[in-house]
Amino acid sequence: MSPFTPHAVLTFAGTDPTCGAGLQADVLTLASLGCHPLAVVTAITVQDSVGVEDYLPLDPEWIVDQARSVLEDIPVAAFKIGMLGSVEAVMAIAEVVSDYPDVPLVLDPVLASGRGDELATETLIDAMKDMLLPQTTLITPNGLEARRLAMDEGVDSEAPDLEECAERLLDMGCEYVLITGTEEQSPAVSNRLYGTEGLIQTLNWERLPGSYHGSGCTLASAIAGLMAQGADLLEAVKRAQEFTYQSLQAAYRPGMGQHIPDRFYW
C-alpha cells in the first residue's frame, strides 16, 4: 500500500470512445499529472477521430447521484467541467458545485467538436452563463467560443473583440478567463489570461501543423490538476500550457481524422 494519496479532481464530461477528447482525455491528463481522476459522465457521444455523430445527454439525476456519491466519500481538490449535454445537466451540476465554494472550478465551455458538430444549444449556453459562470474560477474558451459566449445578439451587430469578450465573461461572474488562440489565423498560438484588472499574461506557442482532438480538454484538466496539487492559478495556467504543448507535439494519428494528443509523452 502506498503512503501517498494523490489529489483528487472531479471532472464532469461527455464520454468519447476515441479517448481523444472528453471524459477519457481528462482522465488520461489527470493521471499523467499524478492526480486521481474522479469521472462523472454527463453525456454519451458517438464519434470517431473525424467528428461527433450523435450524443445522448444523461438523466440529470444520474449525474447528481454519480457526483454526490464520490463527493461524500473522497475529498476533492478541484473541479473541471467539460461537455454538459443538456440545460437540466447545467442546473444539476451548478447545484452540486455550489456546495463546494472553496474548491477551484475550471470550466471548458464545450460548444462544438473540432469539425463543428454542435454540442450545445443556445439555451444551454444561457444556462451555463447564468448558473455556472458565477461559480467558475477559470473559463477556458477558444476565440470562437469566447465570441459566442460573449456576443449579445440583441445589441451587437458583429462579434466583440477578444478583450471585450473577456471583460464580458468576467462581468458574468467568473474570476479569470483564458482565451486560447488555437482557432485564430495568426502564425503563433497566443493564449491570453485575463482577470478583473485586465490582461494578466500572453503566452505565445509555435502553431503545430495538423488538427488535434482533445487539446482544449487536455489544457483545462491539466490546469485543474495542477491547482489541485497546490499551484496558484498563474503557475497552473503556465505549466498546463507547457504540458498541452508537449502532448500535442507527441500526438499521433490512429485513424482517419484528427491527431490525438499523447498525454503520456514523458
Pairing of the two strands 36-47 and 138-139: unpaired
Answer yes or no whether residue 216 interacts with ligand PLP by CB under 6 A: yes
174 or 260: CB nearest ligand PLP: 260
Stretch that binds ligand PLP, among 45-53, 66-74, 146-154, 164-172 (CB under 6 A): 45-53
* From 11, 32, 45, 49, residue interacting with ligand PLP (rule: CB under 6 A): 45
HSE value, Cβ hemisphere, 13 Å, CA-based, for 98: 11
One symbol per residue from 161 to 200: x for binding ligand PLP (CB under 6 A), - otherwise; what is it?
A: ----------------------------------------
Stretch that binds ligand PLP, among 33-41, 44-52, 68-76, 120-128 (CB under 6 A): 44-52
**Nearest C-alpha neighbor of 218 from the set 40, 85, 43, 37:** 37
Q: Shortest Cβ distance from residue 223 to ligand PLP (Å)? A: 13
Q: Shortest Cβ distance from residue 51 to ligand PLP (Å)? A: 7
Answer yes or no whether residue 221 interacts with ligand PLP by CB under 6 A: no
* From 47, 140, 191, 244, residue interacting with ligand PLP (rule: CB under 6 A): 47
Answer yes or no whether residue 120 interacts with ligand PLP by CB under 6 A: no
Answer yes or no whether residue 86 interacts with ligand PLP by CB under 6 A: no
Q: Shortest Cβ distance from residue 28 to ligand PLP (Å)? A: 12
- Sites of contact with ligand PLP (CB under 6 A): 13-14, 16, 21-22, 45, 47, 52, 82-83, 110, 113-114, 213-217
